[in-house]
Amino acid sequence: MSETFYVTTPIYYVNAKPHIGHAYTTLVADSLTRFKRQRGIDSFMLTGTDEHGINIERAAEARGVPVKQHVDSIVEEFKAAFARLGVDYDLWIRTTDPYHEASVQKLWGILKERGYIYKGHYEGWFCGSCNEFKDVDEKTDQPVCAIHEKPLDRIAEESYFFKFSAMQQRLLDLYRDHPEFVQPEVRRNEVISFVQGGLKDLSLSRVSVKWGIPVPDDPAHTIYVWFDALANYITALGWGNDHYQGFDRYWPALHLVGKDILRFHAVYWPAFLIAAGIELPRTVFVHGMLLRGGQKMGKTLGNAIQLNVLHGHFTNDMIRYFLLREVAFGQDGEVTYEALIDRVNSDLADGLGNLASRTLTMIKNYFDGVPPRPQAAGTEFDEDVRSILESAKAAFDGEFGSLNFSRALEAAWRGIARVDKYITDHHPWKLAKQDSNSDELRAVIATAYEGLRHLVLLTVPALPDATRQIWRQMGLGGEPLHINPNTTTWGEGLDISKIYAISPAFPKLNKEKIMAEIDSESTTAPEAQPPQPQTAPTSKIEPAKADSEKIAIDDFVKIDLRVATVLEAERVPKSDKLLRIIVDVGEPQSRQILAGIAEYYKPEDLVGRKIVVVANLAPRKMRGLESNGMLLAASVGESGRPVIATFAEDVPNGARLK
């Protein structure tokens, strides 16, 4: 059977809005899936939402809406947040999906039949936010959850129990025989000492919670939410249901989880599966927390970096790269906007972005845009650069595959630095002055181009959008996501087309300015922003609207104005007025826009320019071509001459104007 890969994220509670902590695991899972796919491995990524339990019931009550309506609306927010980040999952599971509910009941039935579930009485303390029973000193009148700092609920009711106590030795055998089951090592040791401390039987149902899956044959009881939630990893693949036939193909999984939910995944979950006689996951890989001011970012402290703020200033690739590179996966890591800007400027703008633009610019200038390949004897690729890049590739693969993303990227960036130094050492600009057709110049530029080609392929999982953009600018065909760097040979025959549109993949960010904007955003609610002062109308300019015609801010926000870069531009045949332009609006795919500016702008003057587009305009056909958006321009003078709106400073594609 060929190798397959199945990765899961935790399923997210729908009692809070998505923030960067949720985005973290999801982006990592997405990058890993891209890494495996690029290497030809049949892969499946699962994510979704955890929608049952007392806390969700309470959140809906607090909003005064029916629980289903509450969860539906938050699920949409999570889906939109992940779509905006460019996450490409294979399945979104909701624990309210009927196929999941039926399979959870089936799993319950198996454990019951095998003698692992019995009925009893539970008395103790419970945290609705952790969804966990807590061992507390019984003398305390009103104990508080140490994590959420909220009072615990007192529970005294009939309950079904899981025979956890019977699982201790089997779990310890598992950790001993399969050291890869819990990673990193420090988490494995934590779990072993917890289980060695003894396991009490676990209360597995509640009569005081209604929002959940009923116990089969005893619907007064609701199944414990973690039993329901953990089962998602198998029900999604079609275990116990026929909504999908993926269990035999993809199971066992790699589970990515935060350290706060280690015990549920590394102790409860294998215990349930062992009891049911189901194969165990391959690995539970535990990551650390993103911190702000030394504390976990999240809803509890209200200190999370907000995704909408990030999107206003940074591209998806910048966010993804930063999270993979800055925080060692498995450890806690402080995350700040300043560090993000520094990473973008040093690694992306000055690193990969600069290497790409200097290489492509030289090809444009010295070779009329046709990338040189070594031809005659004596014009070989540089052997040293080649071998350093081959070892960077091997190191990248080993580290990324072991989830050491930061070190994998360090290896790739060593390759970038090497090619950069090679160019500087061989000063092609001097060679070009001496003889623009020399073999040496050809060999130097060919080596740089070839090095760049391999480096772009290597960085695809961390920079899916920018690498595609650079690839296209290099005149290369195909989808880099589907080209395996390990089977791409150095100097192989390639079908390369001419290079003509070069735009920087990563504009340099102005730290001071962005920080000032972020600071003012966090103190100004969008509704509270005063309207911009109008400039006094002159006779040639259409007067501003009278008060009665003014629109509300709600009307304005319907218009999705985005920053874009023009990648290509050409005249529309048989039209004096229309230009066809291809723009990068910060989305996975570029867009085509038709603009009536051909009488005033030459196509070649537009390529590489930053513009503003109306991104949510319904598509329209002109001269048989579809236009997907509108370019903004001022209309000047009697003739209505268009002057394209642009920026005096660098701004990332996709940034919203508001």
Closest distance between ligand MSP and the C-beta of residue 255, in Å?
A: 8
Give the pairing of strands 630-631 and 610-614.
antiparallel
Closest distance between ligand MSP and the C-beta of residue 320, in Å?
A: 15
Please compute, for residue 649, the number of CA atoms within 13 A of its CA located in the half-sphere on the CB side: 10
Of 264 and 367, CB closest to ligand MSP? 264
Of 237 and 606, CB closest to ligand MSP? 237
Binding to ligand MSP, residues 595-624 (CB under 6 A): none
Question: CB under 6 A: which stretch of 21-29, 70-78, 448-456, 493-501 binds ligand MSP?
Answer: 21-29
* 257 in Cβ contact with 25 (< 8 Å): yes
Of 25 and 345, CB closest to ligand MSP? 25
Neighbours of 215 (CB within 10 A): 23
36, 52, 130, 255: the active-site residue: 130
Asked if 28 touches ligand MSP (CB under 6 A), the answer is no
DSSP per position, 153-196: EEEEEEEEEE-GGGGHHHHHHHHHH-TTSEESHHHHHHHHHHHH
Nearest residue relative to ligand MSP (C-beta): 258
> Which stretches within 258-402 are classed as H helix?
262-263, 269-276, 307-313, 316-326, 337-343, 354-367, 383-401
Closest distance between ligand MSP and the C-beta of residue 194, in Å?
A: 18
Binding to ligand MSP, residues 338-397 (CB under 6 A): none
Asked if 50 touches ligand MSP (CB under 6 A), the answer is yes
Asked if 311 touches ligand MSP (CB under 6 A), the answer is no
Closest distance between ligand MSP and the C-beta of residue 300, in Å?
A: 9
Per the structure block, which two tokens stand in for 415?
């390759």
Per the structure block, which two tokens stand in for 476?
């290369």
36, 52, 70, 127: the active-site residue: 127
Beta bridge partners, 505, equal none
Per the structure block, which two tokens stand in for 371?
């990338």
Asked if 54 touches ligand MSP (CB under 6 A), the answer is no
Binding to ligand MSP, residues 213-232 (CB under 6 A): 229-230, 232
Q: Which residues contact 394 (CB under 8 A, 6 or more apart)?
A: none
Of 195 and 304, CB closest to ligand MSP? 304
* 625 in Cβ contact with 594 (< 8 Å): yes
Closest distance between ligand MSP and the C-beta of residue 18, in Å?
A: 9
148, 178, 364, 577: the active-site residue: 148
C-alpha–C-alpha distance, residues 587 and 579, integer Å:
21
Of 241 and 379, CB closest to ligand MSP? 241
Question: Is 22 annotated in the active site?
Answer: yes
Of 24 and 239, CB closest to ligand MSP? 24
Question: Is 145 annotated in the active site?
Answer: yes
Closest distance between ligand MSP and the C-beta of residue 22, in Å?
A: 5
Q: Which residues contact 625 (CB under 8 A, 6 or more apart)?
A: 572, 580, 592, 594
Number of residues this chain uses to bind ligand MSP (CB under 6 A): 21
Question: Is 299 annotated in the active site?
Answer: yes
C-alpha–C-alpha distance, residues 388 and 419, integer Å:
9
Asked if 12 touches ligand MSP (CB under 6 A), the answer is yes
Of 34 and 52, CB closest to ligand MSP? 52
Cβ burial of 244 (10 Å; 0-12, 13-18, 19+) is middle
Give the phi and the psi of residue 529 in degrees, each rounded to 5: -70, 130
Q: Which residues contact 50 (CB under 8 A, 6 or more apart)?
A: 10, 11, 12, 13, 14, 95, 225, 229, 232
Closest distance between ligand MSP and the C-beta of residue 54, in Å?
A: 13
Helices 20-38 and 67-84 cross at an angle (nearest 10°) of 50
DSSP 476: B
Question: Is 19 annotated in the active site?
Answer: yes
Question: Which one, of 646, 638, 472, lies nearest residue 542 by Cα?
Answer: 638
Asked if 10 touches ligand MSP (CB under 6 A), the answer is yes
Of 284 and 655, CB closest to ligand MSP? 284
Evaluate the omega torsion of the peptide bond into residue 531 and state whether it is cis, within 30 degrees of 0. Answer: no
Question: CB under 6 A: which stretch of 22-30, 77-85, 118-126, 403-411 binds ligand MSP?
Answer: 22-30
Asked if 48 touches ligand MSP (CB under 6 A), the answer is no
Neighbours of 617 (CB within 10 A): 14
C-alpha–C-alpha distance, residues 359 and 453, integer Å:
11
Contact string 251-270 vs ligand MSP (x = CB under 6 A): ------xx-xx---------
Closest distance between ligand MSP and the C-beta of residue 51, in Å?
A: 9
Contact string 278-307 vs ligand MSP (x = CB under 6 A): -----------xx-----xxx---------
What are the strands, taking DSSP E only, across 252-337? 254-258, 283-287, 290-292, 295-296, 333-334
Question: Which one, of 312, 371, 285, lies nearest residue 519 by Cα?
Answer: 312
Of 47 and 653, CB closest to ligand MSP? 47
Closest distance between ligand MSP and the C-beta of residue 290, in Å?
A: 4
Per the structure block, which two tokens stand in for 25?
């695991």
C-alpha–C-alpha distance, residues 123 and 203, integer Å:
9
Of 209 and 474, CB closest to ligand MSP? 209
106, 178, 259, 299: the active-site residue: 299
Closest distance between ligand MSP and the C-beta of residue 188, in Å?
A: 17
Asked if 11 touches ligand MSP (CB under 6 A), the answer is yes
Per the structure block, which two tokens stand in for 565?
């870069």
Closest distance between ligand MSP and the C-beta of residue 258, in Å?
A: 2
Of 16 and 171, CB closest to ligand MSP? 16
Question: Which one, of 567, 569, 578, lies nearest residue 610 by Cα?
Answer: 567
Rounded to 10 degrees, what is the CA torsion of 205, 207, 212, 217? 70
CA distance between the termini of the chain: 53
Asked if 24 touches ligand MSP (CB under 6 A), the answer is yes
Of 50 and 57, CB closest to ligand MSP? 50
Question: Is 427 annotated in the active site?
Answer: no
Question: CB under 6 A: which stretch of 10-18, 307-315, 336-344, 598-606 binds ligand MSP?
Answer: 10-18
Question: Is 148 annotated in the active site?
Answer: yes
163, 296, 393, 426: the active-site residue: 296
* 256 in Cβ contact with 234 (< 8 Å): no
Cβ burial of 117 (10 Å; 0-12, 13-18, 19+) is buried
Neighbours of 494 (CB within 10 A): 16
36, 52, 100, 145: the active-site residue: 145
* Near ligand MSP by CB under 6 A: residue from 6, 7, 23, 25: 25
Asked if 21 touches ligand MSP (CB under 6 A), the answer is yes
- For residue 618, the one-letter residue type is A
Q: Return residues touching ligand MSP (CB under 6 A).
A: 10-13, 21-22, 24-25, 50, 229-230, 232, 257-258, 260-261, 289-290, 296-298
Return the active site residues.
19, 22, 127, 130, 145, 148, 296, 299
